Amino acid sequence: MYRLWPDPDPTPLDDAALTALYEPTGPGLRVNFVTSVDGAVEVEGLSKGLQNPADNRVFTLLRQFPDALLVGAGTLRQEGYGPVRLDGSRRAWRTGRGLDPYPRLVVASRRLDLDPTHLALAEAPVRPVILTCAAAPPDLRRSLATVADVLVYGDDEVDLGAAVAGLQARGMARILSEGGPHLMGSLTAADLVDEVCLTVSPLLAGPGAGRITAGPPSELRDLTIAHILYAEDAMLLRYVRT
C-alpha cells in the first residue's frame, strides 16, 4: 500500500505509518465503507465480495481507534458479525492512550429484531449498547436487556442526533460506523457524519446492487480529501468535513 496524495511516496506503508494516516485528531463520527468502481455496496447481498487485502487491513485498523463501533441491526445479521475483538498489539495501543481495551459495540434497531444469543451480543468482550425508540416492543427490550444496555431515543424512529449525543455523554466521543446503507443515509440526514473512509475496489458489479447510502434525499454536504492510498488497483480514500 502506497500514498498517492498528499506527498506521493512509493514507500510501502507499515503499520505505524498507516496508523498515523488514520488516527483521529478529536471526537467525531467516522463512516467506513467499501464499494465497486460502479458504486455497488455489495455482491450477492454481502460486502465480502468487494473486499481485498488492503481494505481488510484498513478495516481492522479503524477498529483500533473508536470508543464505539456503530452498526445497523441488518448489517449485524447479514454480514455475520462476531464479537468485536482486537489483537494484543491493538489493545496495548488503546490502553496506552487511556482507552478501554475494546471499542463498545452499538447497534441501532427500530424494531429490535435481534437475537440476544447472537454471538456479537452474547459474547462481546464489553457489554454492548442497543439504540432503539419508544415504539419498539417492550418484550424485546426486556429480552435484549439481559445482554446489552437498551437505550431509547425518539418515539417511532431512532433519533440518531439524540443517540449520538447520549453516547458521547457516556464517554464514547469517537464513533466508527460500519453501515449499513440505511444507517449511513440517516446519519447523513441528521448531519452527524464527520468523516468518510472509502475503499474503491477495482471491480464492476453491474446493475442491481444498492449504494453505500439509502433512504430519503438530504441536502449536500462538502467534504475535503485527507489522503489517497493505492494498493493493487484499489483506491483507499479518506474524506473529512470542511
Average pLDDT over residues 141-152: 98
SS3 per residue for 165-191: HHHHHCCCCEEEECCCHHHHHHHHHCC
Distance CA 116, CA 143 (A): 7
Q: What pLDDT digit, counting tens, does each position of 201-210 carry?
A: 999 999 988 9
Look at residue 242 in the predicted model and tell me its pLDDT: 82
| pLDDT for res 45 | 82
Cα dihedral 11, 15, 16, 21 sign: positive
32-46, 141-155, 162-176: which has the minimum mean pLDDT? 32-46
Helix (H) or strand (E) holding 30, with range, is strand 28-36
Residue 202 is placed in which grid cell? Answer: 477495482
Quick check: 10 pLDDT over 90?
yes
Average pLDDT over residues 119-143: 98
Mean pLDDT of 172-196: 97
Taking the C-alpha atoms of residue 92 and residue 100, their distance in angstroms, rounded to an integer, is: 10
Residue 135 has a pLDDT of: 97
By C-alpha distance, which of 216, 214, 68 is closest to 130?
A: 68
d(CA 196, CA 95): 25
The confidence band for 110, taking pLDDT boundaries of 50, 70 and 90, is very high
Identify which of 157, 154, 132 has the alpha carbon closest to the alpha carbon of residue 143: 132
223 has pLDDT over 90: yes
Read out DSSP for 91-135? HHHHHTTT--SSPEEEEE-SS----TT-HHHHT-SS--EEEE-TT
Q: Which DSSP category does 14 fall into? A: -
Mean pLDDT in residue range 146-170: 98
The residue among 80, 82, 81, 144 whose CA lies nearest residue 112 is: 144
Measured in whole angstroms, how far is the alpha carbon of residue 80 from the centre of its chain? 15
Preceding omega of 6 cis (within 30 degrees of 0): yes
Q: In this predicted structure, which of 28-32, 50-54, 92-96, 128-132 has the lowest mean pLDDT?
A: 50-54
pLDDT value at residue 217: 93
Mean pLDDT (the chain) is 96
Report the pLDDT value the prediction gives residue 229, as an integer from 0 to 100: 98
Q: What is the pLDDT of residue 46?
A: 81
Give tens-digit pLDDT for 28-63: 999 999 999 999 999 888 888 898 999 999 999 999
